[in-house]
Copies of this chain bind each other. A is one copy, B any other.
Amino acid sequence: MLFRATGGVAAFVVMFAASSAARADEGMWTFDAFPTAKVKATYGWAPDQPWLDRVRASAVRLTGGCSASFVSGDGLMLTNHHCVQACVQEQSSADADYITNGFVARDRAKELQCARQQAEVVTAISDVTARVRAAIGQLTGPALVQARNGTIATIEASTCTDRETTRCEVVTLFGGGRYALYRYRKYSDVRLVWVPELAAAAFGGDPDNFSFPRYGIDAAFLRAYENGKPVATPQHLTWNARAPQPDEPTFVIGNPGRTLRLITADQRNVQRSLVLPFVVSFLSEYRGRLITARAQNAERFREGFEELASVENSYKALRGELQSLNDETFATMLDAQEAQLRSSKTARLGRGAGDDPWQAIARADRVYRDIFYDRGFLEQNAGFQSTLYGYAKTLVRAAAERDKPDAKRLPGYTQASLPLTEKQLLAAVPVYPWLEQLQLEFWLSKTREYLGADSPAVKRLLGRESPERLAAALVAGTKLADPAVRQALFTGGMAAIRASDDPLIRLVLANDATARAVRERYIAEVDAPISAAQARLTAVRFAAYGTDLYPDATFTLRISYGKVAGWTERGQPVPPTTRFAGLFDRATGQEPFRLATAIDRARSSLSPATTLDFVTTNDITGGNSGSPVVARDGSVIGAIFDGNLPSLGGTFGYDASVNRSVAVSTAAIEAALQTVYPAPALLAELHQS
């Protein structure tokens, strides 16, 4: 399954991003710059503006880090099973284990709320580059960042004044080369309609993840509500339960989360030699701890499912990225592209008022290396995956930030972003104490390991305690699992925070000055100079290659084009589609290759020839999970849920010969709804459209 776009695991590796001209099928294009001519030249046809407008209006961003699309007039959304796992996990209990058994809402009243999820549809895009640039002027350092973030906050707050139903977001593209204002219609009540059994959705589990041939029905349906009723979505994709045809053109509309294709060779070196080796090793140990802890009893096994699935997915994706950067051929190709640009006539443009942008970035990278662990453990990923620590940090920060004018607040606490922050903070979701303790213990012990037992910051966290004892005491003592307690602290503001004796609030307060200091150093010495240099690099690129370039992924709406096509691996052709017959062949009876119970039961009524999954050349990445695969006629024929192993290097560069996206076909979902998990009402709704 694809790397979701957000969350603590991913956050460690996010830097910025600021290529050469795109090759065939390459690119995650913004809707205001679709490469019509190129698509027409390649496929003999290209979408016109009404076509683009229609699919854009049907495309959904899920704030949990995924994509989706409306597929009925009543707010029904198609996405992936792994995009709703957290919700299914929250709604499950020993008596109602929807992870294992799947879930079908018998009627709309039985649809289950996903408390932390929000659906967002782009309604307008406008270029605000001039306004942000004017605010930045000749500023540098923290002043640059302050001016940039302040202007962004002001634009967002002043454009979307109705924050109940709209959200505004200024998106930084080309690492600061362009700024675009995205206006969204938002739906903050999202409910679960249907998921298959885990064994059907994730057949093959971690061994099959990021590989193909593949046999998973990684699909789910959600529904957007407003005022307790399904929202009317007249603009939606037509459900088309037919098999994909070899070489037919396909369009994927979704929200790719993060690519690093425009970073410099120096930045890639930081990833290859520091960031990725650290994260891969760090996640490995966490994975090991989780696997063993989860195996202790049936309850933990169920409760720990989503967390382990998520970490295994991230681990595999990031390990693939590291392998791609350690591949000499790939690395040499990327470096050569940069060398070509750097030696081009236009490179002098980059120097502009300042010095060489490549050198400026390399200088900033030296600071980035110096503060990498401090920033990671104390600020960016403080508390690691602990939900409770996250609550405490949000509460402490929200109290401080809400006392400031909007333009001076930290991102996430501005007027425009607070509604989602608040929704996620106050959502009533279960917390598993054993998991929280494991996460806090792991974070504290790794913080000590990487920063050193003698680090003053570590001493402020641990005092004379061990990570094991402190984690146990924090989980035993905190009351933050209770939404009412969080609500009171949120409402009470800084006075309530200061008066609180909650041990997690105290811990976050003890760490906060250090955390803010490393954040500020990062802003002044890394973010600001890289931002300025990347704006100059974008000018160089535009001058060298024209402005028909796509920016790096930013978890905002993009469209990619391509076709249904397999590839060649070690001299053997990999066909582009799989069928139910292949699933039956591959089943061993043991996890994760066990045939799902309901599929086994319905086996005789399933046609072995029905297409299950398929691959296309569309250029996608994590965050695209759940994206509709749209045919030329605008109908949906699948949902993206993964990439193949070679696509992991796609973070740094796209290779059309081997990079493939993996989708579950609407034909397979239709078969599942017909005979495996009978859902006649849902089918009727899909076909009504």
Contact = CB atoms under 8 A, between A and B. Distances in A.
Contact of A282 (B284, B448, B589, B591): B284
B208 A453 contact: yes
Contacts of A448: 207
A449 interface: yes
Contacts of A465: 588, 590
Contacts of A284: 281-282, 284-285, 288
Nearest to A211: B452
A590 B468 CA distance: 10
| Most chain B C-beta atoms within 10 Å of own C-beta, residue among A206, A288, A295, A466 | A288
Nearest to A312: B449
Contacts of A589: 464
B204 A453 contact: yes
Contacts of A206: 449
A273 to B, nearest CB: 4
A385 B286 CA distance: 20
Contacts of A468: 295, 591
Given A284-B281, A288-B288, A292-B288, A590 B207 contact: no
A319 to B, nearest CB: 7
A593 interface: yes
A336 interface: no
A280 B282 contact: no
A595 interface: no
Interface in A205-231: 206-208
Contact of A453 (B207, B281, B292, B293): B207
A464 B293 CA distance: 25
A289 interface: yes
A326 interface: yes
Contacts of A326: 272-274, 277
A21 to B, nearest CB: 29
A322 B590 contact: no
Contact of A593 (B208, B280, B287, B453): B453
Contacts of A277: 277, 280, 322, 326
A91 B285 CA distance: 30
Given A207-B448, A326-B274, A464 B292 contact: no
B281 A319 contact: yes
A452 B206 CA distance: 11
Interface string A419-448: 000000000000000000010000000001
Contacts of A207: 448-449, 452-453
A343 interface: no
A261 to B, nearest CB: 21
Interface residues of A, number: 44
A370 to B, nearest CB: 11
Contacts of A290: 288, 292
Contacts of A590: 464-466, 469
Contacts of A295: 468
A591 B470 CA distance: 12
B591 A466 contact: yes
A423 B291 CA distance: 36
A296 interface: yes
A206 B284 CA distance: 18
Contacts of A288: 284-292
Interface string A456-468: 0000000011101
Contacts of A287: 285, 288
A97 to B, nearest CB: 19
Contact of A285 (B285, B293, B322, B449): B285
A286 B288 CA distance: 6
Contacts of A593: 453
A316 to B, nearest CB: 9
Interface string A265-309: 000010011100100111011111111110110000000000000
A593 B459 CA distance: 13
Interface in A569-598: 588-593
A466 B449 CA distance: 34
Nearest to A459: B588
Contacts of A282: 284
Most chain B beta-carbon contacts within 10 A, residue among A322, A326, A466: A466
A296 B282 CA distance: 22
A572 to B, nearest CB: 12
Contacts of A452: 207
Interface in A467-495: 468-469
A423 to B, nearest CB: 33
Interface string A325-349: 0101000000000000000000000
10 contacts: A208-B453, A273-B328, A281-B281, A284-B284, A285-B285, A286-B288, A288-B291, A288-B292, A292-B292, A466-B591
Given A208-B453, A281-B319, A465-B590, 8 more contacts: A280-B281, A285-B291, A288-B288, A290-B292, A296-B296, A464-B588, A466-B590, A466-B592
4 A-B pairs closest in CB distance = A288-B288, A284-B284, A273-B326, A285-B288
